[in-house]
């Protein structure tokens, strides 16, 4: 089999060795002669998996004392509502920065619970930049941000000062760069962008923030209940948690988040310098806000689209079609994507220029 260069935006590429280990555990887990997915989640073998996954999150992100790490279900899309219902007081409100489709959905869910102030929005320019220059009010219960905008290819390079706890949807850049967890009241992230298969969502939450809303929160949405049961209030998504744990082990073996951040920077620099140099391509996001995870770009001459797509296909490059709301191309360069794959894409872009530039 020839190698595919997988630039998928999500679910996305995971390390080959993780796939290998995960497939072995599906047949025979820990030499039990049973599959990982046919044993009790309360068995010591699986409890050890959950504990290791949580410990690896804490270690890799240097999570301070006073925070809990949970592996739950529902995707980041449930996180929109769940983050708000756990931190927005009854009769309270939240502040949001609207940086794209995912933020827009988070705002929509929060409005079902109370007041929403949108402090800044880049919708006027199809979310091609990160709004700045607003002041976060102190009378709201929290500020909600989306750190990386998977669809539009923008990313917060610095987070705003906030007098209230910050909730951050980090679905598409968690573990890709160092963050100071103490700056956040809650971080949540669907696994399938940079951590594992779809099916689990990680929550990192500051304990002291829970339990003060005055709401009767449904049990399955109540982070305090899940915390009290160590993410085992009900049957956890065992396979997704296991593969996430393997990916985090792999990440630790790569040297951790600081080391992967350097590799991610090198990949992004390689691709963006070609996008900027090559007259046949143009980036769609504001340069200062460009995402190191999802690079969005278009052809300057649309007539070359078919030829470019053919070159891309014959180089075994997969998954660079842009999201329908942006068009053009999107190259997602998550942790497991090797620099080699980016070089192959850059070579195809150069090749197009040699033929038609
Ligand atoms: C993909 C994505 C989501 C939605 O995740 P689901 O797990 O499909 O619900 C939310 N936020 C961001 C930033 C994403 O990239």
User: Which residue's CA is the closest to the ligand 1 atom numbered 10?
Assistant: 76
Q: How far is CA 334 from CA 156, 295, 351, in A?
A: 16, 11, 25
- Is the backbone of residue 314 left (phi > 0), alpha (psi -120 to 50) or beta? alpha
Summarised one tens digit per residue, pLDDT across range 103-147 is 999 999 999 999 999 999 999 999 999 999 999 999 999 999 999
Q: What is the pLDDT of residue 190?
A: 98
Is the pLDDT at 285 greater than 90? The verdict is yes
- For residue 356, the Cα-to-chain-centroid distance in whole angstroms is 36
- For residue 83, the Cα-to-chain-centroid distance in whole angstroms is 16
Contacts of residues 268-272 at CB distance under 8 Å and 24 or more positions apart, as own/partner, are: 268/292, 268/295, 268/333, 270/339, 270/342, 270/343, 270/346, 271/295, 271/331, 271/333, 271/342, 271/345, 271/346
64: exposed, middle or buried (C-beta count within 10 Å: 0-12, 13-18, 19+)?
A: exposed
Ligand 1 touching residue 188 (CB < 6 A): no
Ligand 1 touching residue 146 (CB < 6 A): yes
Per the omega criterion (within 30 degrees of 0), is the bond before 11 cis?
yes
| DSSP SS3 for 41 | coil
Å from CA of 347 to ligand 1 middle: 31
Which ranges of the chain would DSSP assign to H, the alpha helix?
Answer: 16-27, 44-60, 75-87, 101-111, 223-228, 238-253, 256-277, 305-314, 339-356
Rounded Cα distance between 242 and 297, Å, is 35
The percent of residues in the chain predicted with pLDDT above 70, rounded, is 99
CATH class of 256-356: alpha beta
Q: What is the pLDDT of residue 55?
A: 98
Closest ligand 1 atom, CA of 148?
A: 13
List the 201-206 sheet strands across, edge first: 67-72, 201-206, 186-190, 166-169, 143-146, 93-98, 115-121
| DSSP SS3 for 282 | strand
* Location of structure tokens 């070609």: 274
Tell me if the pTM is above 0.95: yes
Q: What is the pLDDT of residue 207?
A: 98
Q: Is 169 tagged catalytic? A: yes
Q: Which of 31, 58, 108, 169 is catalytic?
A: 169
Residue whose CB lies within 8 A of the most ligand 1 atoms, among 75, 186, 191, for a mutation test: 75
Summarised one tens digit per residue, pLDDT across range 161-203 is 999 999 999 999 999 999 999 999 999 999 999 999 999 999 9
Query: pLDDT grade, residue 1 (50/70/90)?
Result: low
Q: What is the CATH number of domain 16-253?
A: 3.40.640.10
Is the pLDDT at 2 greater than 80? The verdict is no
Query: pLDDT grade, residue 152 (50/70/90)?
Result: very high
Query: pLDDT grade, residue 160 (50/70/90)?
Result: very high
Pick the closest to residue 63 from 259, 258, 206 (CA basis). 206
Residues paired with residue 204 on neighbouring β-strands, in sequence order: 69, 187
Ligand 1 touching residue 104 (CB < 6 A): no
Is the pLDDT at 158 greater than 70? The verdict is yes
User: Which residue's CA is the closest to the ligand 1 atom numbered 14?
Assistant: 171
Q: What is the pLDDT of residue 3?
A: 86
Residue whose CB lies within 8 A of the most ligand 1 atoms, among 102, 108, 175, 189, for a mutation test: 102
Ligand 1 touching residue 76 (CB < 6 A): yes
Cβ-contact 184, 168 below 8 angstroms: yes
List the 281-283 sheet strands across, edge first: 281-283, 294-299, 329-332
Cβ-contact 67, 207 below 8 angstroms: yes
The domain segmentation of the chain, as residue ranges, is 16-253, 256-356
- For residue 256, the Cα-to-chain-centroid distance in whole angstroms is 17
Assigned token pair, 77: 């899309």
Summarised one tens digit per residue, pLDDT across range 36-57 is 999 999 999 999 999 999 999 9
Average pLDDT, the chain: 97
Ligand 1 touching residue 292 (CB < 6 A): no
User: Which residue's CA is the closest to the ligand 1 atom numbered 1?
Assistant: 171
Rounded Cα distance between 56 and 247, Å, is 10
Ligand 1 touching residue 330 (CB < 6 A): no
Cβ-contact 7, 346 below 8 angstroms: no
Summarised one tens digit per residue, pLDDT across range 65-104 is 999 999 999 999 999 999 999 999 999 999 999 999 999 9
Ligand 1 touching residue 194 (CB < 6 A): no
Q: What is the pLDDT of residue 357?
A: 79
Ligand 1 touching residue 153 (CB < 6 A): no
User: Which residue's CA is the closest to the ligand 1 atom numbered 2?
Assistant: 171
Q: Is 31 tagged catalytic? A: no
* Location of structure tokens 């929403």: 116
């Amino acid at each position: 089999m020839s190698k595919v260069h997988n630039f998928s935006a999500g679910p996305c590429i995971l390390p080959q060795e993780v796939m290998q280990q995960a497939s072995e555990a599906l047949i025979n887990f820990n030499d039990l002669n049973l599959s990982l997915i046919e044993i009790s989640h309360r068995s010591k073998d699986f409890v050890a998996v959950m504990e290791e996954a949580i410990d690896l999150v804490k270690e890799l992100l240097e999570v301070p004392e006073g925070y809990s790490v949970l592996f739950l279900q529902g995707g980041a899309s449930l996180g929109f509502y769940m983050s708000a219902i756990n931190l927005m007081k009854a009769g309270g409100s939240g502040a949001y920065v609207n940086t794209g489709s995912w933020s827009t959905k988070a705002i929509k869910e929060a409005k079902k619970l109370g007041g929403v102030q949108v402090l800044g929005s880049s919708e006027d320019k199809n979310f091609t930049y990160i709004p700045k220059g607003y002041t976060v009010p102190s009378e709201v219960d929290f500020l909600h941000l989306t750190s990386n905008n998977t669809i539009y290819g923008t990313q917060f390079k610095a987070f705003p000062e906030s007098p209230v706890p910050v909730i951050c949807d980090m679905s598409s850049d968690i573990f890709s760069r160092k963050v100071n967890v103490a700056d956040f009241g809650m971080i949540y992230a669907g696994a399938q962008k940079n951590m594992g298969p779809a099916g689990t969502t990680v929550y990192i939450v500051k304990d002291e923030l829970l339990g003060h809303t005055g709401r009767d929160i449904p049990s399955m949405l109540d982070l305090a209940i899940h915390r009290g049961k160590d993410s085992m209030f009900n049957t956890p998504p065992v396979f997704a948690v296991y593969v996430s744990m393997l990916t985090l082990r792999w990440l630790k073996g790569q040297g951790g988040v600081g080391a992967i951040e350097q590799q991610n920077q090198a990949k992004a620099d390689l691709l963006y310098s070609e996008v900027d140099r090559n007259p046949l391509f143009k980036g769609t996001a504001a340069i200062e806000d460009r995402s190191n995870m999802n690079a969005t770009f278009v052809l300057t001459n649309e007539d070359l689209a078919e030829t470019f797509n053919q070159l891309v296909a014959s180089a075994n490059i997969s998954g660079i079609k842009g999201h329908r709301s942006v068009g053009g191309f999107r190259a997602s360069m998550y942790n497991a994507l090797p620099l080699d794959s980016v070089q192959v894409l850059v070579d195809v872009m150069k090749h197009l220029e040699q033929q038609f530039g």
